[in-house]
Chain A
Amino acid sequence: MTIEFETPKPIENARFLLQTVADNMMRPVSRQFDEEEHTIPFSYIEFMHSAMRAMGGGSAGSLAPGEEKKPEDPNKPKRAPIAYQLLANQLEMLSWGDVGMYLVTPGGGLGAAAVQAAGSPEQKAKFLARFNEEKPTFAAMCMTEPHAGSDTSAIRTRAVLDEKTNEWVINGEKIFVTAGDKSFTERPEFGKGFLVVWASIDPSAGRAGMRSFVVEAGTPGVKITKLEHKMGIRVSDTASISFDNVRVPFENILGSPTVEKTTTGFKGAMATFDATRPLVAATGVGVARAALEEVKKMLAEQGVTIRYGLPRQKLTAVERDVVDMEIMLKSAWLMVLKAVWMADNKQPNALESSMSKVKAGDVVTKITQKAVELMGPLGYSREYLLEKWMRDAKITDIYEGTGQINRLVVARQVLGYSGSELR
C-alpha cells in the first residue's frame, strides 16, 4: 500500500485510444448533433460498438465493469483490480470529446449497472451477454417519476405478482430515462435492449418494498410517450415511458421477491449509486477539462500564457481565474480517482463517491460558465463549443443525484446521521 498517482499502463493506452475517438468521431460532429436534436449518430454508435468488440468487449460506455477474471496461475502475483479506475478514465476522455455523445455510446449503461449490482449470476448471464453481440445494444434505468425525483422512496410505480401466470404486472409512469428510446424501441440497426424499472412490490413497506425489474425491449404495454427537449446533451434521448399492465417473467426481479422489515434491499440498491456517482463525476471532469483546455488554447492564440508560480497579487484577473479553474479541475479528478480506486479495492466509498459527485458537479458548472464569460462574445457564440459545454455541463450537477442530494449524503456520512436524523 502506498500513496501514488502513476496512471497504470492499460489506462494510459485506453486514454490514448479514446482521445483519437474523441478527436475524430466526436468533436467534428458535436455541433451538428447539438443542433439536430433527437438525430441518432449511427456512425459513432456503430464505430464504437465494433471498436469495443474488437478490443474484446471493452466496457466503455457500459457503466458495469465485467466480472474480474480469475488469475490463471494462482502463484502469479495478483494484479490490483482497476476496472472502475479504467472506466472512470474512459468516461472522462469520452466526455472530453462530447458528453452527450458519450451517453449514446452503446452498452448497458445504468440498466446493466443495476443488473450487475443486484442480479443473480443467472440474471447477469442472461441479460448482460447481449452487449457483446453483433449489433449495438442499449439498456436504461427507469427511476424518476413526475412526482418523485431525488426522493426515490416516493416512487408510485407498482409491481404485483400474478400468481396464476407467475408474472409481475407493472403499472406506472417514468420520466427522464436516459437512452430510454434506444433501449426499448426496436430498430434494425440495434440489438434488443432492456429497461430496468423501479417499482414497489409492497407500498406499505416503504423503501423496503422497492425493487427493480428487467423489462425487455418490445414488451407489450410499454409506451414511449415523450422525448424531452433539453438545454444540453441533446444528442442523448431522454424518454418518458408509461407502463400499462406490463407483464414480465417472475425471474426478471432483481433482488429478493419477498419483503423483509429491514431496508437492506433498498440500501443495497442505493449502493449502486456508490459505484456510479464517481463515474458520472468523471464525465463532468471530462467536460470541465475540455472547456479549460479550450480557454487556454484560445488565450495562447492571443499571446496570453498563464504565468504559474506568480503570487496572486501579480497575476492578471484572467490568469487568476484560469489558476482557480485548474485547482478545481485537478482536485475534482483526484476525488473521482480515489472513489473508484476504493470501489476497485472493495472499500466502502459512500462518502467519497458522493463527495466526488458534489465536487465534480460544482466545478464543471463553474469552469464551463467561467469559460464562456472569459471568452466574451466568442464564448457565447455557437461558433465555438464553449457555450455547448456549459449547457451540457449543467446536467452533471443534476442527474445521478443533484448536488444537494449528494451534499445530504456527505453530511449524513460525516455526521454519522441516519436519514431520519438528517432529513
Chain B
Amino acid sequence: MYGFTPTDEQKMLIDTVVRYAKNDLRPAGHDADEAKVLPPKLISKGWELGVLQASVPEAYGGFGERSAVTGVLAAEELAFGDLAGALAVMTPSLFVTPILLAGSEEQKQTWIPPVIEADWMPFTAALIEPSFDFDPNALKTTAVREGDSYLLNGLKTYVPYAAEAEAMIVYAALDGVTKGFIVQKGDGLTVSERIKLMGLNALPLYQVRLENVRVPAANLLEGDFAPVLASMQVANAALAVGVARASFEYARDYAKEREAFGVKIAQKQAIAFMLAEMATEIEAIRLLTWQAAWKLDTGKEDAFIDAYLASTGAADMVMMVTDRGVQILGGHGYIRDHPVEKFMREGRGFASFTGLAIV
C-alpha cells in the first residue's frame, strides 16, 4: 500500500524532536553561529531524545530497530531547528550506524554499546576529501594491507569533532573500493585547526591527515559501503528539507506582516507565487526522501539510485528556497538579525554535505 502518515511510535518520537527543535535549537541557533560554539547542554539534551538509541537493537545497548524513514523524519525536524545543532546531535551516529550497517557481529558488540549507553560523546567519521570533484566512491585516501593491519594515507576534511573524538570511521579506498575503518585517538591521526566555512560556524569541523596510520585488520568494516552512502544521502536530503522549511516558514510569516503599498507583501502575487513554489518544491523533495528511505528499509533494488537522486535534488531545492527566503525579506533578509541569511549560507552547503550525517 501507499501511506503518508508516520506510525504512532514515530509520531511520539518526532513530537519530542519537534519540541526540542523549536524550543531549544532554534532559539540558540543565531548566537551559536555568531559565537562559533554550541552549548554542550544543548547537544546533550538533543542526544537524550534518543533518536539514535531508538534505532539500535537492544543487543547493542539501544532500544529499537533501525529505520531510515524514522531517521529522515527526525533529521528534518532537527534541521528545522538549527542545522549545526542537528549535525552535532547526530554526530555519534556517523560512527554507530555504519558499524550497524557494515560491521561484523563482533564489531557491533565491541563498539556500539559504549557510545549508545553513554552521554553524548564525539564519536565521528571522516568521509569528505578536499577536492572539487570529491566522489565518495573514488576516494583518494587509500588503505593498504600490511600483515595484520592496514596502512591509511590521505587527507580528510569536514570532520565533525575530530579534535576531541575518541574514535572515528575513516573511509578509504581498499583496492579501489570504498571501505570504512575504525580509527582510534592514539592511532596517529593529525588533526588540523578548526576549518572555517560559509556556514555551520557553530559546528567544530576539522581536516584530518593520515600518514601511514596503522589500524588493526579487525577494524575494517567488511560490509558494503553502498547502503552506508545511501543512508548519508537520505540524511543529507532530509536535513536540506528541514533548513528549506525553516526558511520558507520564516519568509512566509514575514510576508504576512510586512506592508508595502498598503497591503501585506504576501498579498502580492510576485511574493505569493514564490512562496507557493517554495512550498511545492519542499514537499516534492520531502516525498522523494521518504521514498528513498523506505526503499532502504525494505531493501528495494533501486534504493541507492533514489537516495542519490533525493540528495542531488535536495541540494538544488534548498538553494532555491533559501535564496528566496532572503529575497522575500529584501534588505532585512541580508541582515544577520534575521535567520534567513544563515539558512541560505547553509543551503548552498548541501551539495557538499553528504557524509556529515547519517540516519
Given contacts A6-B2, A308-B305, contact A335 B267 (CB under 8 A): no
Is there an interface contact between A85 and B2, defined as CB atoms closer than 8 Å?
yes
Interface check A337, CB cutoff 8 A: yes
Question: Nearest chain-A residue to B67 (Cβ)?
Answer: A3
Interface check A411, CB cutoff 8 A: yes
Is there an interface contact between B267 and A422, defined as CB atoms closer than 8 Å?
yes
Choose the segment among B114-122, B144-152, B284-292, B339-347 that binds chain A (4+ C-beta atoms closer than 8 Å): B284-292
Is there an interface contact between B1 and A8, defined as CB atoms closer than 8 Å?
yes
Choose the segment among B75-83, B154-162, B200-208, B269-277 that binds chain A (4+ C-beta atoms closer than 8 Å): B269-277
Interface set, chain A 335-390, CB cutoff 8 A to B:
335, 337-338, 341-342, 352, 355, 358-359
Choose the segment among B23-31, B57-65, B128-136, B169-177 that binds chain A (4+ C-beta atoms closer than 8 Å): B128-136
Interface residues on B, range: 35 or more
Question: Nearest chain-A residue to B8 (Cβ)?
Answer: A1
Bound Cα distance A4, B351 (Å):
27
Interface check A311, CB cutoff 8 A: yes
Which residues of chain B are within 8 angstroms of A313 by Cβ–Cβ distance? 132-133
Known pairs A5-B295, A422-B269. 8 more at Cβ < 8 A? A1-B8, A2-B6, A3-B10, A6-B2, A313-B132, A412-B272, A415-B255, A423-B267
Which residues of chain B are within 8 angstroms of A330 by Cβ–Cβ distance? 288, 291, 306, 309
Given contacts A311-B133, A313-B132, A330-B288, contact A3 B69 (CB under 8 A): yes
Is there an interface contact between A338 and B4, defined as CB atoms closer than 8 Å?
yes
Is there an interface contact between B1 and A331, defined as CB atoms closer than 8 Å?
no
A residues whose Cβ falls under 8 Å from a Cβ of B: 1-8, 80, 82, 85, 308-314, 323-324, 326-327, 330-332, 334-335, 337-338, 341-342, 352, 355, 358-359, 404, 407-408, 410-412, 414-415, 417, 421-423
Interface check B20, CB cutoff 8 A: no
Which residues of chain A are within 8 angstroms of B110 by Cβ–Cβ distance? none
Which residues of chain B are within 8 angstroms of A414 by Cβ–Cβ distance? 252, 275-276, 279
Say how far B352's CB is from chain A's closest CB, in angstroms. 9
Q: List 27 A-B contacts (CB under 8 A).
A: A1-B6, A2-B7, A3-B4, A3-B10, A3-B294, A6-B298, A80-B1, A308-B304, A310-B135, A311-B133, A311-B135, A314-B135, A323-B312, A327-B313, A331-B287, A358-B276, A404-B273, A408-B273, A410-B276, A410-B279, A414-B252, A414-B275, A415-B255, A415-B266, A421-B267, A422-B266, A422-B272
Question: Nearest chain-A residue to B309 (Cβ)?
Answer: A327
Complex A-B, nearest 10 residue pairs according to Cβ-Cβ distance, in ascending order: A331-B284, A334-B287, A327-B313, A411-B272, A1-B5, A410-B276, A411-B276, A313-B133, A407-B276, A4-B3
Which residues of chain A are within 8 angstroms of B291 by Cβ–Cβ distance? 5, 330, 334
> Looking at the complex, which one of B133, B273, B294 makes contact with A5 (CB distance below 8 Å)?
B294
Given contacts A3-B3, A8-B1, contact A408 B135 (CB under 8 A): no
Is there an interface contact between A327 and B133, defined as CB atoms closer than 8 Å?
no
Say how far B39's CB is from chain A's closest CB, in angstroms. 33
Is there an interface contact between A309 and B137, defined as CB atoms closer than 8 Å?
yes
Bound Cα distance A5, B4 (Å):
9
Given contacts A331-B285, A422-B272, contact A358 B6 (CB under 8 A): no
> Looking at the complex, which one of B4, B273, B284, B312 makes contact with A332 (CB distance below 8 Å)?
B284
Say how far B246's CB is from chain A's closest CB, in angstroms. 15
Say how far B251's CB is from chain A's closest CB, in angstroms. 11
> Looking at the complex, which one of A312, A326, A331 makes contact with B351 (CB distance below 8 Å)?
A312
Question: Nearest chain-B residue to A80 (Cβ)?
Answer: B1
Is there an interface contact between B135 and A415, defined as CB atoms closer than 8 Å?
no
Interface check B259, CB cutoff 8 A: no
Given contacts A327-B312, A422-B266, contact A338 B1 (CB under 8 A): no
> Looking at the complex, which one of A314, A404, A421 makes contact with B133 (CB distance below 8 Å)?
A314
Is there an interface contact between A415 and B2, defined as CB atoms closer than 8 Å?
no
Interface check B283, CB cutoff 8 A: yes
Say how far B315's CB is from chain A's closest CB, in angstroms. 9
Is there an interface contact between A4 and B2, defined as CB atoms closer than 8 Å?
yes
Which residues of chain A are within 8 angstroms of B308 by Cβ–Cβ distance? 308-309
Say how far B276's CB is from chain A's closest CB, in angstroms. 4
Say how far B115's CB is from chain A's closest CB, in angstroms. 28
Which residues of chain A are within 8 angstroms of B287 by Cβ–Cβ distance? 331, 334-335, 338
